[in-house]
Amino acid sequence: MKTQCSGFRLGLWLGVLLGSTAIAQEDAAPAKPGSHRITAYVHSGLGLFLSDFRTMGGIGGGLGVRDTVDERFIFQADARYLLGLGNAVELRAGAGIQRQGTWTPAALVMVSGMAGGGMRFMTSARSTPVVAPALTVGLQLAPLRFTHSGTQFSLFELGVGVGSEWPGRGVSMHLTLLEAGTSF
C-alpha cells in the first residue's frame, strides 16, 4: 500500500514539474511575426468628465475587446455604463504598447466619448446647456497587468484625458479597479 502511495506522489510531482516546464516554455517562446491574440475582457471602475459647464460619470463596469500584435502592440475598444453623477455611457478606443512576458504593464493613448445625464451649469460664457458627447484624448497606464496562458488580469489602471468644451476645456479621469480577460 505504501509503495502505491509513493508511486502516485512521484507521478503527481513529475506531472506538475513537466506541466510547469511546458508552460514556462510556452510563455518564453517568441511570438511569430504578425501574430494576433484577440482578448475579450470585462472591467469595473470609476470614470469622470469635468468642465466649467458639466460634470458627468460615476462608478460602473463594461465590456471590451483587445487585439495584441506580436505580444507587444495593443489595439482595443470598450464600452462602460457609469452611474452616480447621472447615468452615462462611455465608449473608448485606444492603441499602445506593453511589455512582453507574464508581467505586462502597458501604456495606451485613448480616445473617449461620454454621453448621458449629469450636472449641467450655466455661466456667462455659455447660456445654453451642453448636449453633445464629451470627447477627450488622453493617456492610460496599466502598471499592475499580468498575462498567463491566454488569461489577463489588471489592477488599478489610471487614465487622464483632455477635451474641448467650446469655450473652455474639459478633463476626464479614469480608474479601472479590476480588469479580467481571456483570449479566444
Question: Taking the alpha carbons of 142, 151, 104, 71 in that order, is the dihedral positive or negative?
Answer: negative
CATH topology of domain 33-183: Porin (2.40.160)
pLDDT at 131: 81
Model pLDDT for residues 94-117, shown as the tens digit of each residue: 999 999 999 999 999 999 999 998
- Give the integer Cα–Cα distance in Å for 140 and 106: 8
Low-confidence ranges of the chain (pLDDT < 70): 1-31
Please choose, from the candidates 33, 66, 39, the residue with its C-alpha nearest in 3D space to the C-alpha of residue 148: 39
Are 155 and 177 a contacting pair, CB within 8 Å? yes
Give residue limits of the domains in the chain. Answer: 1-30, 33-183
Whether pTM > 0.85 for this model: the answer is no
Instruction: Give the type of residue at 131.
Output: V
Please choose, from the candidates 152, 158, 113, 156, the residue with its C-alpha nearest in 3D space to the C-alpha of residue 139: 158
Burial of 8 (0-12, 13-18, 19+ CB in 10 A): exposed
pLDDT at 148: 94
- Give the integer Cα–Cα distance in Å for 69 and 39: 11
- Give the integer Cα–Cα distance in Å for 181 and 184: 10
